[in-house]
């Protein structure tokens, strides 16, 4: 799964060391692939990097492998209202971002700004971008990072269209969740995009959680975050999760049976590209991110993990054997669950790399 061209700068990390922000996810150019994935000979030549990406997709298709883009339309690398002018801020700040009356940015992304996805100009930009990746680069689908931001209203909206509970007391505010978001409607009915695979990370950093309720037009799949949480709780032995675990094994019908969707609309996963790896789940009960320079504030606090009796990598032989058994249990659960399993390399090898 590939991402847009993004900034590898991180103020906190660059001040502390020479390490690069490996994480990324701070988009600069939505129409360009991340050159870090290209061969050394093409990294400084955009056209060659694009051609190399097309070659990769073509060769993958020859082998029956589909290629997905991990797209980040919830924020950009320009940061909060005090951030640098790199692109959209200089074009029209109030069009491309959700801006509060006093000029500060709404921050539903957790990254300082929120892309104004349902503004007419912005949603057309997003659709044009997605069509480019399908028609020109021939990708087979998209995973939308923090996709719930794409359901938030760009300005005052009709209360009858409100979906769920808004984040502010006033129903008619910027960022109100919509029942029929114009952007999701456009994507779902576009003659090109409706035929590719669409996967929503159905939550955002502003507290909106739509797993099982994301506006879907019967074609969107979802990262099943509830599957992840239930399986982690069950495997570590938390009481009261046997019924929920059984539903997870059966494709989460409690979430996807209504509204015309099927079990394959659930993307089941235990670990992903972010958060704890499989090894972390059985090694740490608490996160340890102090080296990132953010006082351990970054990353999820509720990982439903268990260290098997000893915190950290150095442990007794008994604990290490138990950890290996637990990792196999996680993998088995994923393999026997209906319907779509998401595996990452960090799941296959139990850690990053």
Give catalytic residues, as residue numbers. 145, 201
Sheet containing strand 197-200, edge to edge, reads 27-33, 2-6, 68-71, 141-144, 197-200, 220-223, 266-268, 340-341
Residue 308 phi, psi (nearest 5):
65, 20
Determine how many CB atoms are found less than 10 A away from the CB of residue 267.
Answer: 21
Q: How far apart are CA 269 and CA 284, in angstroms?
A: 19
Are 80 and 111 contacting, i.e. CB atoms less than 8 angstroms apart?
Answer: no
Q: Coil, strand, or helix at residue 27?
A: strand
Q: Measured in whole angstroms, how far is the alpha carbon of residue 338 from the centre of its chain?
A: 21
Residue keyed to tokens 């997709």 = 57
Closest to 144 (Cα-Cα) out of 263, 248, 228, 267: 267
Residue 115 Cα distances to 21, 39, 133, angstroms:
22, 31, 19
Residue 12 phi, psi (nearest 5):
-65, -45
Burial of 111 (0-12, 13-18, 19+ CB in 10 A): buried
Closest to 237 (Cα-Cα) out of 313, 330, 311: 330
Tokens of 197: 């695979």
Are 78 and 28 contacting, i.e. CB atoms less than 8 angstroms apart?
Answer: no
Q: How far apart are CA 109 and CA 206, in angstroms?
A: 7
Strand 68-71 vs strand 141-144: parallel, antiparallel, or unpaired? parallel
Tokens of 304: 């439903």
């Amino acid at each position: 799964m590939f991402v847009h061209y993004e900034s590898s700068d991180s103020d906190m990390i660059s001040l502390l060391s020479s390490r690069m922000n490996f994480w990324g996810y701070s988009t600069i150019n939505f129409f360009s692939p991340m050159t870090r994935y290209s061969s050394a000979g093409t990294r400084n030549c955009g056209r060659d990097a694009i051609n190399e990406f097309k070659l990769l997709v073509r060769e993958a298709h020859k082998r029956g492998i589909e290629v997905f883009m991990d797209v980040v339309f919830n924020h950009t690398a320009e940061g909060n209202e005090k951030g640098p002018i790199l692109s959209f801020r200089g074009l029209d700040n109030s069009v491309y971002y959700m801006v509060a009356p006093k000029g500060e940015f709404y921050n539903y992304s957790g990254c300082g700004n929120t892309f104004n996805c349902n503004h007419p100009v912005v949603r057309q930009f997003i659709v044009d971008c997605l069509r480019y990746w399908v028609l020109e680069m021939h990708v087979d689908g998209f995973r939308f990072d923090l996709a719930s931001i794409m359901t938030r209203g760009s300005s005052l909206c009709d209360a009858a269209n409100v979906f769920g509970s808004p984040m502010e007391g006033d129903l008619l505010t910027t960022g109100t969740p919509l029942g029929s978001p114009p952007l999701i409607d456009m994507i779902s009915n576009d003659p090109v995009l409706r035929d590719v695979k669409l996967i929503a990370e159905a939550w955002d950093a502003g507290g909106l959680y739509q797993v099982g309720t994301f506006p879907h037009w019967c074609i969107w799949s979802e990262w099943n975050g509830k599957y992840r949480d239930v399986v982690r709780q069950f495997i570590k032995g938390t009481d009261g999760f046997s019924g929920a675990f059984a539903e997870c094994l059966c494709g989460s019908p409690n979430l996807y049976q209504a509204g015309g969707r099927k079990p394959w609309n659930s993307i089941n996963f235990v670990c992903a590209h972010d958060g704890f790896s499989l090894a972390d789940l059985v090694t740490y009960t608490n996160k340890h991110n102090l080296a990132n320079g953010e006082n351990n504030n970054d990353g999820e606090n509720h990982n439903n993990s268990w260290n098997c009796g000893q915190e950290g990598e150095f442990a007794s032989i008994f604990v290490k054997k138990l950890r290996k058994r637990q990792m196999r249990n996680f993998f088995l659960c994923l393999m026997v669950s209906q319907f779509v399993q998401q595996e990452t390399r960090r799941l296959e090898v139990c850690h990053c790399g």
